[in-house]
Structure 1
């Protein structure tokens, strides 16, 4: 991902209030809904970090795919592999997106996505505890939390390969290989119109979690998520600051699909952990995964209600 600029503060207060006034943000449901188990997610994160650096095309990333596939199979679900050959600055690299589908009453889809690769470095051992492992692990646990829940929309979980640049970041040529390929294939198949919303998680593991509001993301999605975070008491984690991030979601945004990117880039970078050897286990926490899981699951009914209109 790439930070473009830092923006202003305070916009979300008006947007969230407008959604509440319009009846788009629900109060907590007393019925038992899906629950996110950060202890499980943490074990997945540690398992990925234990594999070491996991850049696209590496044996370690193949092992990561096998790990994700085993976890999905244990849920009696099936992984679809979307394999392609990416043209990179260092030549052709085989990459694979992983897709798991939870059918709903409708064929229209809500996508839950994140990348599972790590950036390649020659001079440091980069294990990507937050940048790669947190999103890969989070999606496994979110899948478990939602798999037995009733669904109006079909839920599709996608682990993107190749989010990281091989050389220098360029959104169109060197980075986001997996999401670019996914959108290209969807456009060819004429299925992009079935995607009603995309939720992207990236770098959500920091012990000092501070997720800023991405300006490329759909305003209504930002408003629902930030209002939910406030209701749950997590405004210190979902902060009232605007930023603009280039990430996997942008190819969906360009295709006209409402998307949201939940990412802690600026703060993690300021702490000196982004794309450094210190993006390691001691600087991430299960508590941060729990916050994001709780907020996303609590926001989901309002997202579905908005899409139903």
Structure 2
């Protein structure tokens, strides 16, 4: 993990000028003051489905049981099939497999598959929800050097965000949303390096590809905004407004934190601004879709990422049902409090 003030200005330049092809999730910048919270009243509805934390936990556990989901490995292939089969079973209108070959920082080819499940495709207003399902190929932050070449289990960093979105998808099939929802299980987020010039561009390869090959026929189909879930299942996790999210999509941060407050979850979604993390949402913002990142990046023990980040300890022992429940509850509140445009024709 790297703390670099200069990275803030580099990424801001990328977003403002469009000159950068992307950034990555494993580099972090310090928290900063400023960018005051934007207050946005939320409508209140009563038919919000209850988020099933046991179900989400089971989805996390199922992924971990497949083994590391490193690109070009059997575990990754198993996870691909499982995601596609279940998203179809949950009732997505369509499931798109965006397959390609990209290259990592060492020039090695990686076969990727971005999986996009679309719900309520006739809606004129859409929200994009995303999480990465690949796992880090090397436990380079493990305290034991003997583990540095081993792939991480990826229970929190990978499976937790996917688990929350899988349970969200199941609920969408049971209770049709008032707006369109696109769920992106993005690939090859965690295969980068912190070494070398422009190293931030070696991360989030799947999201880079997605933003360069958007599956939308026109600008009218583009999502109004996006919410990224990354490391959202850890024991005792709390979330603050990540720097780049607050800098480029403060109104979406306000929407999410207001929903958390209304759901009685302010102890989990704390006030104030947190550090900046170069993650998939940076690419999404650059592509013109306001995007935020819900991520644990100010852990009480480390002051940054959790102590098991990119280690062999990122296993099911650190996954907490209550954290999954709280994040999933906020996501469902966001979805079902959305209002479709008056001209939209609902199915």
Tell me, yes or no, whether TM beats 0.5.
yes
How far off is 1:190 after superposition?
A: 5.2
Cα distance change, pair 227–131 in 1 and its aligned pair in 2 (3 A): same
- Which residue of 2 is the match for residue 84 of structure 1? 100
More off after superposition, 268-277 vs 288-297: 268-277
How far off is 1:166 after superposition?
A: 3.4
Matched, 1:211 2:239: yes
Deviations 1:238-294 (A, max 9, x none): 112312221111111012211111111231745411111221111111111100011
More off after superposition, 98-107 vs 188-197: 188-197
- Which residue of 1 is the match for residue 335 of structure 2? 300
Matched-pair contact (CA < 8 Å) for 2:178–2:340: no
Cα distance change, pair 174–158 in 1 and its aligned pair in 2 (3 A): same
Matched-pair contact (CA < 8 Å) for 1:113–1:198: yes
Deviations 1:71-92 (A, max 9, x none): 2233244532100111212311
- Judging by fraction of residues, say which structure has more strand: 1
**Structure 2 residue matching 1:288: 3-state secondary structure:** helix
* Counterpart Cα distance in 1 of 2:322 and 2:188: 27
TM-score (norm 1): 0.87
The count of residues paired between Structure 1 and Structure 2 equals 298
Kindly report structure 1 stretches of 4+ aligned residues shifted beyond 6 Å: 306-309
Matched-pair contact (CA < 8 Å) for 1:183–1:192: no
Matched-pair contact (CA < 8 Å) for 1:105–1:151: no
Matched, 1:237 2:271: no
How far off is 1:200 after superposition?
A: 0.9
**Structure 1 residue matching 2:33: 3-state secondary structure:** strand
Matched, 1:198 2:215: no
Q: 1:11 aligns with which of 36, 39, 46?
A: 36
Map 1:56-71; keep pairs closer than 5 Å: 56-71=71-86
How far off is 1:229 after superposition?
A: 1.2
Matched, 1:180 2:208: yes
Deviations 1:131-173 (A, max 9, x none): 0010121111111111243444321111000111333375763
Map 1:95-114; keep pairs closer than 5 Å: 95-114=112-131
Cα distance change, pair 308–95 in 1 and its aligned pair in 2 (3 A): farther
More off after superposition, 230-239 vs 102-111: 102-111
How far off is 1:191 after superposition?
A: 4.8
User: Can you give the 5+ residue segments of structure 2 that lack an aligned partner in the other structure?
Assistant: 1-24, 139-147
Matched-pair contact (CA < 8 Å) for 1:163–1:179: yes
Matched-pair contact (CA < 8 Å) for 2:130–2:184: yes
Deviations 1:178-198 (A, max 9, x none): 111011012996558622111
User: Can you give the 5+ residue segments of structure 1 that lack an aligned partner in the other structure?
Assistant: none
TM-score (norm 2): 0.78
Cα distance change, pair 82–7 in 1 and its aligned pair in 2 (3 A): same
Map 1:42-53; keep pairs closer than 5 Å: 42-53=57-68
More off after superposition, 270-279 vs 131-140: 270-279
* Counterpart Cα distance in 1 of 2:154 and 2:313: 9
More off after superposition, 241-250 vs 72-81: 72-81
Matched-pair contact (CA < 8 Å) for 2:57–2:163: yes
**Structure 2 residue matching 1:186: 3-state secondary structure:** coil
How far off is 1:50 after superposition?
A: 1.4
Matched-pair contact (CA < 8 Å) for 1:115–1:160: yes
How far off is 1:103 after superposition?
A: 2.3
